[in-house]
Amino acid sequence: MSGLCPAPEPREPQGNIVIAAPRGWCAGVERAVEIVERTLQRHGPPVYVRKQIVHNLHVVRGLEEKGAVFVESEDDVPRGAVCVLSAHGVSPAVHQNAARRGLTVVDATCPLVTKVHVEARRFAAGGKTIFLIGHASHEEIEGTAGEAPDQTIVIERPEDIDAAGVVDPAAVAYLTQTTLAVDDTAEVVEALRKRFPGLAGPRLDDICYASQNRQLAVKALAARSDIVLIVGSDNSSNANRLVEVAREAGAPAWLVEDERSIEAPWLEGTTVVGVSSGASTPGVLVERVVSWLRDRGYAGVEELAVATEDVRFPLPAGLD
């Protein structure tokens, strides 16, 4: 007797699916995954990857099947081996340790994260205290803070500012994680400006174009939908922010790893299901969710586009 679940019985049409655009992989994620694949082709397996290359379990499993070995630290990589650094960036201390261990390092840091690191070094060189807005446990924040650990204060919300202690108001700057919610971040920056009128900031917004575009799309999606499903992994910051954005816009929203995570009771009484995905989510997972919904009577599929993207980042020298 087969252990496979039977296919659902065909149902009468009961609603429609609206899919946000843009969604899914951004240029930085596409670049990072391609870097691992090309490094495997050039050096052969195993190729070691420090942390998850991007925060999506399906991507990690797929690369493991090709010969990538994911480790928590450069200390877990055999001396002299090839080590790819994840898209989220690392501190200078990691680079130094990798060099001491004789590792062949391939840096897959997203160029937009690299830009924040450059800004951190610039502010630190100018003697400023840096308020780094983001989630303290996130790898991107760990890497950026590592550029100037003695001058960086990580905060997540306005009330964290008061806990920072004594800060010279004439020498203060801020930077942000690239995957934050735009509206929430603006609130924190405004609180900082009220406290420190001379606050310096990045020349351009640190929140990446992909996060901003996906959040705008999900806001529009939430206005059209009875429920919103965001496809992405639990540890994906940008995917979690999309869930928050949808809920703040008034729609019930859930984060799902894939179609197997959807709970049927969520759909009761719904006629329009909105679907989007985080910037590290492969497009095939959205296709699987849409197929699952169509099998259950959501017959129409419409794309809701709010922006177009044509950004591409070059590969590191030697892999292009």
Positions annotated as catalytic residues are 140
Q: CA 253: distance to chain centroid?
A: 18
Please report where in the chains the tokens 């939430």 appear, as a residue: 222
DSSP 8-state symbol, 107 = E
**Strand partners of residue 45:** none
Nearest to residue 32, comparing CAs of 112, 132, 102? 112
Round to whole Å and give the CA distance between 290 and 240: 20
- Phi, psi dihedrals of residue 266, rounded to the nearest 5°: -60, -30
Task: Give yes or no for a contact between 272 and 225, defined as CB atoms under 8 angstroms apart.
Answer: yes
User: Dihedral, CA atoms, 246, 248, 253, 255, nearest 10 degrees?
Assistant: 80
CA distance 63 to 1: 33
